[in-house]
Amino acid sequence: MMASDTLLSALDVGNSRVLALMAEVTPEGELVVRGAGMAPLPEGMEAGQVVGFKSVVERIKEAVQEAETSARMPMERAWVSVAGTYVVGKNTNPELPIAPRRQPITAKDLQRLWDAARWQNLPPGHVVLNVLPHDFTLDDQEHLVNPEGMVGSRLSMNALVLSSKEGPLRTLEKAINDAGVAVEGFLFAPVAASLAVLTPEEKALGALVVDFGFGTTNFALWHRSHVVATGTLPFGAQKLNDDLVQLFGTTFQAAEEVKKSKVTLLLDTVDEEEVVLLPVLGGGTTKVSRKKVCTAAAARVAEIFQMVGMAYTQQLTRDVRLLSVVLCGGGSYLEGIEAQASAVFGCPARLGEPLAWQDATSCLSQPPFPLRSAACALGLLHFGSQTSQGRVGPLAAGLQTRKPSLLDRLLSRVKKLQKEEGAYDHP
């Protein structure tokens, strides 16, 4: 059983499922997953936003309870991912005079600079979600990683500030609280996925992470070890299902099954004579060319990738050379998707298998836990681990979550009592 002071938890509430992970950090700093739980979410979330509150609460409870059972520990607090078009980024450059004269930069000075970054003008109804620093400038010294201890008279910071509409964020937080879990903090989903799938070299040289999910497509562009652009498109692999339904008059369930079993983006490998048998609305079946099905899917994926390219290009304040693309999320399991990405973005692409973790449950290496779909949740655990060790790398959490309510505290206490009575021990 894990010690509670080394326990980390993550919740990724996606558009088609809820994933809950529980892990511990070993004395050597390694991340070991001890509990995993997944609950399907056929309704309740659209484009990263809660639209069916009660359904989402129940599915979160199911995923959390499954993770708790395998971990033999209660999940009291969790790091939570956020993804949606209601999250926007803004580059900022706050400055801070070091009065009364040139003197060493202290941790208090850096905190004042963080506060200045968080108090930027935001769109109406928005709150700061995360502050992603790029570098610091102290007088005429530029591109500093950490100026603490250096001597100067004026300090500034280049940073990307992510803000979110407060309503969707607080609704998600309440759903998690009502499921008996307090929110440790939020992190924008594509940034979290990046922490799980990118190598340090990729972050430094210039890499784009595309988290191709069911209902959203999230992206984060890294350059010189910093996030320089990030965002969400309000559609994902579900769009392929919609196309098949519209083109061939089939059902959504059949479209999902065909997408998983018959679709390849490697069109040259598909036999022109091969057909796929599809049920049609109103009864009966129809034969359609597999080549037509795959061609429609390939065109849609290419369009989504092109929209990602346009979205991040509009955010850049300087030229960034893209050297690689890394794909994760459930949609990354489409055959040939890395070749499609390479063709659209004009650079090598690979599949983003999460790095630097151990799975003591053996759950994440088999269905229903496709590993690349878990990249965001694993990235949350990495972020939580860095934070617990007093180092958050190139990231800083911005949003202050609400304190747990009396009901939250009571639920937490009940879980602790159950633990003491052996509720999480297997016979």
Nearest to 13 by CA among 377, 365, 367, 381: 377
pLDDT at site 5? 60
The domain ranges of the chain are 87-164, 238-300
Classify 111 as helix, strand or coil: helix
pLDDT at 377 over 60: yes
pLDDT at 392 over 60: no
Q: How far is 115 from 398, CA to CA, in rounded Å?
A: 9
Q: At 389, is the pLDDT very low, low, confident or very high (cuts 50, 70, 90)? A: low
Q: What percent of the chain has pLDDT over 90?
A: 68
Q: At 319, is the pLDDT very low, low, confident or very high (cuts 50, 70, 90)? A: confident
Classify 209 as helix, strand or coil: strand
Classify 269 as helix, strand or coil: helix
Q: Which is it for strands 49-50 and 324-328: parallel, antiparallel or unpaired? A: unpaired
pLDDT at 407 over 80: no
**Residue 337, Cβ neighbours under 10 Å: how many?**
24
Tokens in use for 218?
Answer: 């999230």
Q: How far is 356 from 199, CA to CA, in rounded Å?
A: 10
| pLDDT, tens digit, 9 for 90 and up, residues 223-236 | 999 999 999 999 99
Spatial contact of 94 and 137, defined as CB atoms under 8 Å apart: no
Nearest to 289 by CA among 330, 328, 258, 316: 258
Q: What is the dihedral of CA 368, 371, 377, 379, to 10 degrees?
A: 180
| pLDDT, tens digit, 9 for 90 and up, residues 81-94 | 999 999 998 888 99
Choice between 317 and 13, residue whose per-residue pLDDT is larger: 13
Q: How far is 19 from 68, CA to CA, in rounded Å?
A: 12
| Sheet strands side by side (includes 17-25) | 182-188, 77-82, 7-13, 17-25, 31-40, 358-359
- What CATH fold (topology level) applies to the domain 87-164? Dna Ligase; domain 1 (3.30.1490)
For the chain, how many residues are written? 427
Q: How far is 382 from 197, CA to CA, in rounded Å?
A: 11
Q: Kind and range of the H or E element at 29?
A: none
What is the greatest pairwise CA distance in the chain? 82
Classify 5 as helix, strand or coil: helix
| pLDDT, tens digit, 9 for 90 and up, residues 31-81 | 899 999 999 999 999 999 999 999 999 999 999 999 999 999 999 999 999
Most confident listed range (140-144, 275-279, 318-322): 275-279
DSSP string, 124-189: TTEEEEEEEEEEEEETTEEEES--TT-EESEEEEEEEEEEEEHHHHHHHHHHHHHTT-EEEEEEEH
- Taking the model in full, what pTM does it have? 0.87
Q: What percent of the chain has pLDDT over 70?
A: 88
Tokens in use for 355?
Answer: 């790095």
Angle at 296 between CA 294 and CA 297, to 5 degrees: 65
- Return the CATH superfamily for domain 238-300: ATPase, nucleotide binding domain (3.30.420.40)
Average pLDDT over residues 409-421: 53
Provide the residue type at 56 as one letter: V
Report cis status (omega within 30 of 0) of the bond before 367.
no
Choice between 268 and 30, residue whose per-residue pLDDT is larger: 268
Report cis status (omega within 30 of 0) of the bond before 234.
no
| pLDDT, tens digit, 9 for 90 and up, residues 273-311 | 999 999 998 889 999 999 999 999 999 999 999 999 999
Q: What is the dihedral of CA 174, 180, 182, 185, to 10 degrees?
A: -70
In the block, tokens 């609305």 appear at 281
Half-sphere CA count of 421, side-chain side, radius 13 A: 7
pLDDT at site 394? 45
Tokens in use for 72?
Answer: 């033999």
Spatial contact of 141 and 150, defined as CB atoms under 8 Å apart: yes
